[in-house]
């Protein structure tokens, strides 16, 4: 029976999940800070620098998660004969590098 994409679950180590959660919490704080800067009419250039920093932080999380995804989810599915995961991964990577 084919598994729906929405039913699939990741199987990552607790250390990875904690690391991702920690980084995402910091990014959430960055976003709150950016919002406050806008509310306080901080000079646009300063806000733009903070936005670039938040984007770079998100890119770091994406790269860490992509590595874990390939090493666990993708490898597992290929071993299970679900080679369509490679095409799915390629679509994701193309979106990431746009």
Q: pLDDT tens digit string along 33-89?
A: 999 999 999 999 999 999 999 999 999 999 999 999 999 999 999 999 999 999 999
Q: pLDDT tens digit string along 61-75?
A: 999 999 999 999 999
Q: What is the CA radius of gyration of the chain?
A: 18
Is residue 1 predicted with pLDDT exceeding 50?
Answer: no
Q: pLDDT tens digit string along 4-24?
A: 566 778 878 899 999 999 999
User: Position of tokens 């920690």?
Assistant: 22
Neighbours of 68 (CB within 10 A): 19
pLDDT of residue 7: 78
Q: How far apart are CA 83 and CA 23, in angstroms?
A: 31
Q: How far apart are CA 64 and CA 23, in angstroms?
A: 11
Tokens of 68: 């874990």
């Amino acid at each position: 029976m084919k598994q729906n994409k929405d039913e699939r679950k990741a199987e990552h180590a607790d250390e990875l999940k904690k690391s991702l959660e920690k980084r995402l919490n910091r990014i959430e704080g960055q976003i709150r800070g950016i919002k406050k800067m806008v509310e306080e009419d901080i000079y646009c250039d300063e806000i733009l620098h903070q936005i670039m920093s938040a984007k770079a932080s998100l890119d770091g999380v994406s790269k860490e998660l992509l590595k874990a995804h390939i090493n666990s989810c993708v490898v597992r599915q290929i071993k299970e004969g679900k080679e369509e995961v490679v095409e799915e991964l390629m679509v994701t990577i193309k979106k990431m590098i746009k």
